[in-house]
Structure 1
Amino acid sequence: MDWSTYDGWCWIDCYQLDDKGDAIARRSLFLMPEHVQFVPPPPPRPTPAGRKPPARKPPKVG
């Protein structure tokens, strides 16, 4: 989309992603690229620990 801007400003289109990485919402931002800072994504959430079956011991030989 060609929108007029002020000198040094620009429009960018962004997408909000769900947990699977699918786009669920579109956002249009009006910003100055020289002031944009990269923010790393948060670490993945730990998955709840499932119940593990008890470990089997090998049979004793001899």
Structure 2
Amino acid sequence: MTAPRSGDLLYVTRSASVQFINPIYFRVIRVLAWRTYDGWLWLEGYQLNIKGDAVVRRAIGWMR
């Protein structure tokens, strides 16, 4: 699996983390250079609503 890039649209579910009991769509702004666990990335982006509009800016952890 390749790392997400700016502009990618991700569908984030509970398999990513228990915080996503309700899945979200997430538009990637950038991959952050934060230190994290081996195999993980921090992504900055926008959570999208059902219409595809950005509603919340957030950072999430993503396993490569």
* TM-score of the pair, normalised by structure 2: 0.37
Of the two structures, which has the highest relative contact order with CA contacts closer than 8 Å and spacing of 6 or more? 2
Structure (1/2) with the larger strand percentage: 2
* TM-score of the pair, normalised by structure 1: 0.38
Larger Rg: 1
